[in-house]
Amino acid sequence: MKILYLIREDFNEIVSLAYYELVQELKSKGHEITVANLSGKFLDFPCIKINQFKFIDYPFGFVNRFFFGKAVSEQVNPKKFDLVLSSMAETLFFLSKWNILKTAVIHDNFFERAKFTPWFGKQFKLALKVDSFFQEKAMKKADGLIFLNKNELNRMKNKTKAKCIVIHNGVNPQNFFSEEKEINKIKSKYPKKIVLFLARIELQKNPLLFVKAAEKLQKENAVFLIGGKGPMEKKLIKLIKEKNLLNTKFLGWIKGKEKNALINSCEIYVLPSFFEPVSVSTLEAMACKKPVIVSDVGGLKEIVDDFVGIKFESNNSEDLAEKIKFLLDNPKKAQELGLNGFKKIKSEFLWENIAEKYINFFGELLNERK
């Protein structure tokens, strides 16, 4: 298949490797991938640079996504491809005249995000409601839609005539290997048990709840490390200082070997998100054989069962603190969960197998069109 992949970002701007890992696997299976984005660069893939008039993303994210799609419709020849795979449904809105299959992955749930977002601020409720409205409009232009969890599919499937499927994101465990000396370096710097939060510092991920749980566990032999960047950094740092939490450290943006070593050094990985279509960082922690504690929402409920981790009541710092203390006090149980999580990654979440599901889905769409 000749696939046109639409993503506005340059590879270096992508927080998650999920966007890249998928198309890399599709390429390795013999399919021809061409990327269209704003930079004209995407590592080793053929790439079409899209010239787009651009607003500030907040609060004009949906406008930029629409303009990107409009620019694609004017600057790309669809006859060179069998289908379009977009990382944003909105980009398909202006491609309705293209006589090739149009598919998109629904990565974000603006409807859920709006529930906990304030009316005023850098991210605000009205903008997200508008985002949600136009995302649903654009979904009607698709031939196929990929959702990241069953809740999303069930909520949206009646709002489109597209063929819909759930395909989770994946992970490649070999990408998270760390040498013993790198792990020991972190453990010597933080000699207590490491409880790790590693995600964007934004409302969705609820990093402030992680800090509140750490406050309740100051007497434990544990250090609470926070890695990431995002719009809530200042608020997070202020809260840690106000509470004088000596057991909590904000590390900033962590990547590459340092990130891998940090995951491999921790005793517990925690993600207290308000909502989560799917969590690549949770999969990464499981790939490193670490027990995970996550809020009981969205895709996290599908990834994390009692066999591989622990779920806590969303936005409940008391419940989160209790679950963390339980694993700190029961290292054998924590190790068991971590090993089970790795087995689940190998059986369900390898990118090689995830890509095969995409190929089968595309094949079904192409056969139905014949």
pLDDT in tens, 75-91: 999 999 999 999 888 88
pLDDT at residue 140, rounded to an integer:
84
Vertex 28 angle, CA 27 and 32, to 5°: 25
What span, in angstroms and rounded, lies between the C-alpha atoms of 246 and 134? 45
What span, in angstroms and rounded, lies between the C-alpha atoms of 154 and 163? 13
Exposed/middle/buried for residue 60 (C-beta within 10 Å: 0-12, 13-18, 19+): middle
Asked, as a colleague might, if the bond just before 331 is cis with ω within 30 of 0, I would say no
Q: What is the DSSP letter of 273?
A: -
What span, in angstroms and rounded, lies between the C-alpha atoms of 33 and 24? 9
Reference 19, options 143, 137, 104; nearest CA is: 104
Residue with tokens 């070593």: 261
Q: Kindly list the distances between the CA atom of residue 330 and the CA atoms of 5, 66, 326, 333, 342, in Å, as whole numbers in the listed order.
A: 46, 51, 6, 5, 19
- pLDDT (tens, 9 = 90+) of the chain, 370 residues, equals 999 999 987 666 555 677 788 999 999 999 999 999 988 888 888 999 999 877 666 566 677 888 899 999 999 999 999 999 998 888 888 898 899 999 998 876 555 665 666 556 556 666 666 666 777 777 788 899 998 888 888 877 777 888 999 999 999 999 898 899 999 999 999 999 999 999 999 888 999 999 999 999 999 999 999 999 988 999 999 999 999 999 999 999 988 899 999 999 999 999 999 988 888 899 999 999 999 999 999 889 889 999 999 999 999 999 999 999 999 999 999 999 999 999 999 999 999 999 999 999 999 999 887 6
Reference 209, options 304, 330, 113, 295; nearest CA is: 295
Contact 115, 332 (CB under 8 A): no
What is this structure's pTM?
0.88
| Every domain range in the chain assigned CATH 3.40.50.2000 | 2-170+350-369, 173-348
Which CATH class name applies to 2-170+350-369? alpha beta
pLDDT at residue 161, rounded to an integer:
86
Q: Which residues pair with 83 in a beta bridge?
A: 3, 101
What span, in angstroms and rounded, lies between the C-alpha atoms of 210 and 25? 34
Contact 146, 278 (CB under 8 A): no
Correct CATH for 173-348 of 3.30.565.10, 2.60.120.10, 3.40.50.300, 3.40.50.2000: 3.40.50.2000
What would the DSSP string read from start to end of 207-239? Answer: HHHHHHHHHHTTTSSEEEEEE--STTHHHHHHH
pLDDT at residue 88, rounded to an integer:
85
pLDDT at residue 2, rounded to an integer:
96
What span, in angstroms and rounded, lies between the C-alpha atoms of 283 and 122? 29
pLDDT at residue 124, rounded to an integer:
66
